[in-house]
Structure 1
Amino acid sequence: MVQLTVWIWVGALIVGVFAAHWGAERFAKPLKKLRRQWGLTAVAGGAFVGLAAASPEIGINVVSALRGVSDIGLGVMFGSNIVAIPLMVTTAYIASRTNSLGDRDSSERSQSNSEAQEQSQQPKTAEHERHRQEHLLRVERTAVSVLALPYLGILGLVAVLTLPALWRGFQPIDAGIIAVAYLAFLGQAVLRGREESESVNWETREIATAAAGLAVLAVGTYLTVRSTENIVSALGISRLVGGLFITALMTASPELFATWSIVQSGQVTAGTTSVLGDHAVTMSVAFVPLALMTVPVENFQLYLVNLLFVVAMPVAYAGLIHFGSDEHGFKRWEVATLDLLYVLYVAIVAFWVLNII
């Protein structure tokens, strides 16, 4: 009976996660139009559109804080940021190997002016084919300076606000500080990533769909938190661990399809770097509801290991792009390195922190 109950709640978790991401996608469309209207590049736009992409994590944190199960939100916030970089880069690498930009017929290449602009930022067809042969996932140089380094600055601030013994944990004052940090992150991305703006048309139906998406997002995130509560209770594990390794993995899974689609369309940089914009939102805006409810750090060892790997992933991401290849991108061995870094994280948590054997 317990086993059956677990599977029922696993099904509910899957429904909740995909409903939340469906709602986030509807909410993202107006933000993407604003990005074009304001003349933001694909890389800079990642910091802005990341508000929608990270909205499931924001919603989960809000619901978990209101329900008094903030450990779930904390686990999702850290777990999704650790697993997403290797998961999305691996997906982007595979997607870029399975399709050539030159293999599309004329009808598939037909696109709007905005899409053509993003496409023009990608390597030419011949270069793309060469990168495939060289096993290189080409990423624009600006991904490091506009997204990765400022994101590391946000993580440094999180460490300062939550690690010292005198004020360890999440307090309401931290919410205001981290919100200002995100606004600074967004501002620098916008100022450093400008291009010619476009004229876009706004339709009432689009706005109504976005509002409906927000409603579905709210329902999905509530169902996600409730499902996680029941799953961890049935399995006899802590809410933090459930958030780290169950809910976080589930919330990252819908992004795989989006990354695959974006990279196959030829927008390799957009598909590979959007994860950093999402992470900046997750570690700042999604941080706010937890801080407002005052969440203590009960297992400091587990918290410290997670924070270290949350930092290690973008450091590895930026370092491998910048120094691993002369053309800025990921070689096959570098993609494998990111994957192995996640395996190392799981091993440390399982065998050193949790002592499962």
Structure 2
Amino acid sequence: MLWFALILVGIGAMQWGSQRVCALLGELRKHWGIAETGGGALLGLATASPEISVNIASVALGWPDIGLGTALGSNVPALPLIFVISYVSTRWHRRRAVAEHRQNPDSAPPPPMPQVKEQAVWLQMLPYLFVVALLAALTLTPGWEGLQPLDGLILALVCAAYMVRALRAPGERVPCQSPGRKTLAALPGFAAIAAGALVAVLASRQLNQALGISDLVGGLFITGFLCALPESFSAWRLSRSGRATSAVSAAVADGIYSLTLAMLPLAIVGAAVGNVGLYALNLGFLGAVLLGYMALNRRVVVGEARSSLLTPARVGVFAAGYCAYVVVAVRLIA
């Protein structure tokens, strides 16, 4: 219980720090006139900072499997959780708004059901799918097993190309004050992320040993899953305010950085993938979720833009898929 509590403390410190950095990047997004989907790519740098920091700390301490498991474990549940949370959040607040609007017609109209702009598919989903496929090819192809320095260089170049493409999406510049104060306010956030990563990795190692599980399994189902929860539940606030596109875009950007930038420390030291079957299952599930979203994507016209609605059937498919993933993963571990 002590080590588990310390993991929570470390993750809490990293999330607190990433929120400070998010505030700074949010101001920069508006100041630079970056589109909502491009803003998700920018904010993803902050939300992915815990995974990146955990990987650096795990490599420095000689336990790279913790970092690898955390990077994958925070990615796998993220999109299913965000789809479910976005739908439930909007549905719940819409019902309340409808009831209030009936009692008071002058009140604000009920918000629409969660919609994800078509732009998010092309700017976020397809690059994410490409990164997952590329990582699988680099680490699972016979003769290329594991992560090597060349793999890290390739992933870094792909990450840079994704950032340039996403940030160049047209957006409206919002007049705002200089982000100088936000920059100073973000400095403690960087320190909290670094300290939190060190505490989380040290506690994870002790907890894994106490439970008798491998570092990869502990990173996947304990540290990584706990890292994904705060980021996923931010979708509740974003969806409630009609920003489902931001919620999905930030999660996808987080995933892309977690599978590219966060892999650099592992690639430098030539880390192995450990349990190949479990590793392949995680990459396969990520690819299936992305392909499933694009296959189920139903475009609807909203003004002059096209969006996709998150319906109960679509949300249920992703939730059921994650449950099936857990069952298969448990069998592989056993």
Same-fold call, TM cutoff 0.5: yes
Q: Structure 1 unaligned runs (5+)?
A: 1-6, 106-123, 132-136
Deviations 1:155-186 (A, max 9, x none): 22212211112121001111111111011111
Q: Using a 3 Å threshold, how does the CA distance of structure 1 residues 159 and 203 change in structure 2: closer, same or farther?
A: closer
Secondary structure of the residue aligned to 2:117 is coil
1:247 aligns with 2:241: no
Secondary structure of the residue aligned to 2:65 is helix
Does structure 1 retain, via aligned residues, the 8 Å contact 2:50–2:193? yes
Of residues 136, 142, 145, the one that matches 2:122 is 145
1:205 aligns with 2:199: no
1:307 aligns with 2:287: no
Does structure 1 retain, via aligned residues, the 8 Å contact 2:28–2:179? no
Q: Using a 3 Å threshold, how does the CA distance of structure 1 residues 178 and 322 change in structure 2: closer, same or farther?
A: farther
Secondary structure of the residue aligned to 1:169 is coil
- Equivalent position of 1:336 in the other structure: 316
Structure 1 stretches of at least 4 aligned residues deviating more than 3 Å after TM superposition = 100-105, 322-327
How many correspondences in the alignment? 322
Alignment of 1:1-357 (within 5 A): 7-100=1-94, 103=97, 125=109, 128-129=111-112, 131=113, 137-191=114-168, 193-202=169-178, 204-322=180-298, 328-351=308-331, 353-354=332-333, 356=334
Cα distance, 1:231 vs structure 2:
0.6
Secondary structure of the residue aligned to 1:99 is helix
Secondary structure of the residue aligned to 2:310 is strand
Does structure 2 retain, via aligned residues, the 8 Å contact 1:141–1:322? no
Worse overlay, 145-154 or 257-266: 257-266
Deviations 1:90-131 (A, max 9, x none): 1111110121499499xxxxxxxxxxxxxxxxxx956x44x4
- Mapped partners of 1:228, 1:319: distance in 2: 37
Does structure 1 retain, via aligned residues, the 8 Å contact 2:36–2:171? no
Does structure 2 retain, via aligned residues, the 8 Å contact 1:37–1:199? yes
- Mapped partners of 1:245, 1:16: distance in 2: 16
The Cα RMSD (Å) is: 2.3
Deviations 1:41-69 (A, max 9, x none): 11121112100011001111110111111
1:179 alignment partner AA: A
Cα distance, 1:256 vs structure 2:
3.5
Cα distance, 1:323 vs structure 2:
7.2
Does structure 2 retain, via aligned residues, the 8 Å contact 1:162–1:168? yes
Q: TM-score with structure 2 length normalisation?
A: 0.90
Cα distance, 1:332 vs structure 2:
0.4
Deviations 1:20-47 (A, max 9, x none): 0000011112211121122111112111
- Mapped partners of 1:319, 1:350: distance in 2: 28
Q: Using a 3 Å threshold, how does the CA distance of structure 1 residues 48 and 327 change in structure 2: closer, same or farther?
A: closer
- Mapped partners of 1:293, 1:227: distance in 2: 22
1:87 alignment partner AA: L
- Mapped partners of 2:36, 2:245: distance in 1: 8
Deviations 1:134-175 (A, max 9, x none): xxx321111111100111111222122111121210011111
Deviations 1:239-288 (A, max 9, x none): 00000101111101112332111111222221233211111111111111
